[in-house]
Structure 1
Amino acid sequence: MLALLLLRAVPPPPTPLMLIRLAQGYGLERDWVPLERIAPALAHAVIASEDNLFCRQALGFDFGAIREQVEAWRQGERPRGASTITMQTAKNLFLWPGRDPLRKILEAWLTPQLALLWPRRRVMEVYLNIVEFGPGLYGAEAAARRYFGRPAAALSAQQAALLAAVLPNPLARNAGDPAPGLRRRAAAIEQRAARITPLFDCLR
């Protein structure tokens, strides 16, 4: 609780994932910037890609998606996951990567605390500054400069969509040299972001 209150106001230290990747030899490149210095297109793109209802969740969970995944599991299908941006922020800040039950329990415990203690803009600000965009590459500013040679504030909608498109697998996908499949995914994200603009109201 105290850590969450402190991190509501100050940039977080290196996260467990950053330290794990550093130990794996990936390096650590990041540059914290406030949300005002990140093009809104990037927040819109990650919402369109990762969590359409980010601004509508009271406790940081998408209960509709969770119900769908439980039903899929009951029918013998493999659940695709129902992780929200708030859940990912809690996980990235405090926990280790993986799908083990203990980590999932801790993530479920941390998520509503984060949702209740932080404004949505702060959740998005931290998320966009600590999320992994490539091997050893964290946050919007470092990714924008590495891949596009510009600050995060100057990202175009297309570049923002490319960054959002790498998030499911940032170690294998490269926003600066996108494969055809990544370009198609980014184009779909960009189109979706343009259609769901009313869902971005908590970031204004």
Structure 2
Amino acid sequence: MVEPRTIAPLSSIVHHHYLASPPAKKKVGRPLGSKNKPKLSHVISQANVQVQKPIYIEVPNNLDVIEAMVQFAHHHKVSITVLSASGTIASVTLNYTDSYASTFTLYGPFSLISLTGTYINNTAISSSSSSCNLDHPCCFRISFSTISGQSIIGFVRGKLVAANGVIVMATIVNNLEVHKDVINNNSKEWDDDNNNPNTYI
């Protein structure tokens, strides 16, 4: 006679299946000993960042436009580059060349066509290096028209007095670096370059 086999109930099989140890899970995360990458702010020193910003300045009537630019630069501790200007000027002291010869003053009113130039606010630069007739290291080129329509172009060598509605468009920059390149005429490299026909100046 065949003896009947004992059949385990289904619930018992399921129970033993859940008691089995689960497979090992892979750990998620960075490898042991890894470090954070340095952020950009840690690499660049905040003191060396140069910020350039566009601005416009309204110059009140009867004030010197150039002096207004210089005072603005001193107050905000920046250097300033004038891109253009508009309005009416009462008078201007100028000449036609980049030297101080033949300086003269014209009385308007005149209509400003353009005004360009740079004032460098840096104590390392001597005022003797100024190319303007001012105690400031700056140079400004101007063009304007008379009532009759004649255009005049020159370099500002003194006061540029605003008459009405003078607005100056400019950019300012802080932490301006100034580099002085000094050439030693007695150096061997200088002599070699002068004697080299392939040297271009």
Give the shorter-chain TM-score range: under 0.3
The two structures have a TM-score, normalised by structure 1, of 0.19
The two structures have a TM-score, normalised by structure 2, of 0.20
Hey, which of these two has a bigger chunk of strand by percent?
2
Hey, which of these two has a bigger chunk of helix by percent?
1
